[in-house]
Amino acid sequence: MRAFVAVTDKDWYQFLAGRPDLDEVNFWQPGGNRMFRTLKPGEPLLFKLHYPDNAIVGGGFFAHASLIEAGVAWDAFGEKNGAPSYPEMRRRIERYRRAPADPRAAYQIGCIILVEPFFWPQIGWIPAPEDFSRNIVQGKGYDLASPGGNRLWEQVMGRLRSGAGGRVAEGDDAVQRQPVQVLQRLGQGAFRILITDAYERRCAGQPQAEGRLSTYPLRARGRPERRRRRINKDTWTAGRKCRRVIISNVPRRNQHARYLAAA
């Protein structure tokens, strides 16, 4: 099992730390040119603030990664993007990209969707690992079976067991357990992005992920039609509005996905 320590914006952390009982968050990356592939679903991602704070302040468990337009991310997650409004989110994207303000620009961003996030007050912050170089821009992965990774995870577990910023964790031997595949319900935002990605792969003729996803027609007077209608690539390129309508017709009983978690 692995963990990823990700360099985190302090404004993002402070905004979300003041909102208890979050079921999911979108840890977005402003560049939007590289898919995050470091973790498997269910593995932890930890938030490390920039210097001079240089401390781990919380984390969450990886569910899904995607490259999407910032407006779609806001539609799916809203304030769970770590910003009070979409204009503020765009301002931060432009700041990190060092781009001039342009209200008409469509920014693609990298989305790392995390479930069961936890945030600690300053008294519970963990100093960054000694081998975490100041020059690291995005983050660093750790094998939790290695001495350094195990030491870091024990610190995280100690804070979770004490009830600091998250649910009570398992016993001391939890890190030695093997990951298993479980059926886990995702948050609404994660599910919307997962379905959007799956449909776009199908429309582009790419292999479909494990499982079957039904293609439901658009609503007619508030009720789905009985007859299925083929959804082609042109339908999807029509814009985000069409995607939102299609996703809204997927039954709630299908809103889950398999991912790895520590048993």
Residues 150, 222 within the same domain: no
Same domain as 192, residue 169? no
The secondary element (H helix, E strand) that includes residue 240 is helix 240-248
CB 165 within 8 A of CB 124: yes
Those residues with Cβ within 8 angstroms of residue 198's Cβ, 6 or more apart along the chain or in another chain? 208, 209, 213
Whether 146 and 190 share a structural domain: no
pLDDT tens digits, one per residue of 7-19: 999 999 999 999 9
196 pLDDT band, cuts 50/70/90, is confident
Decide which of 178, 210, 237 is a domain's last residue: 178
Q: Residue 119's closest CA among 57, 61, 162?
A: 57
- The answer to whether residues 126 and 219 belong to one domain is no
Residue percentage of the chain with pLDDT more than 90: 58
Within this chain, do residues 38 and 118 fall inside the same structural domain, yes or no? yes
- Which of these three, 132, 155, 178, is where a domain ends? 178
- Looking at residue 196, its amino acid is T
Residues 155 and 193 in one domain: no
User: Which of the listed residues 145, 178, 211 is the one where a domain comes to its end?
Assistant: 178
Note the Cα 33 to chain centre separation in Å: 16
Instruction: Tell me the CA distances in angstroms from 121 to 35, 49, 60, 124, 132, one per residue in order.
Output: 31, 13, 15, 6, 22
| 114-136 pLDDT tens trace | 999 999 999 999 999 999 999 99
Number of domains in the chain: 2
Does pLDDT of 253 surpass 70?
no
d(CA 68, CA 110) in angstroms, rounded, equals 7
Let me know whether 138 and 233 are in one domain: no
Same domain, 166 and 188: no
**Range from 12-21, 169-178, 183-192, 250-259 carrying the lowest mean pLDDT:** 250-259
> Which pLDDT value is given to residue 40?
94
Contact 40, 132 (CB under 8 A): no
Q: How confident is the model at residue 229 (pLDDT cuts 50, 70, 90)?
A: very low
| pLDDT at residue 160 tops 60 | yes
Residue 259 token pair: 């991912």
pLDDT at position 186 = 77
The pLDDT assigned to 185 comes to 63
Query: With 0-12 CB in 10 A as exposed, 13-18 as middle and 19+ as buried, what is 158?
Result: middle
Mean predicted confidence (pLDDT) in 53-81: 96
Tokens 């997650």 appear where? 77
Q: How far apart are CA 97 and CA 94, in angstroms?
A: 5
98/209 same-domain check: no
Let me know whether 173 and 189 are in one domain.
no
Asked which of 25-39, 51-65, 93-107, 157-171 is least confident by mean pLDDT, the reply is: 157-171
Same domain, 128 and 213: no
Name the residue range of residue 119's domain. 2-178
24-28, 107-111, 211-215, 218-222 — which is least confidently predicted? 211-215
pLDDT of residue 50: 94
**Closest C-alpha among 140, 160, 172 to residue 3:** 140
Whether 189 and 171 map to the same domain: the answer is no
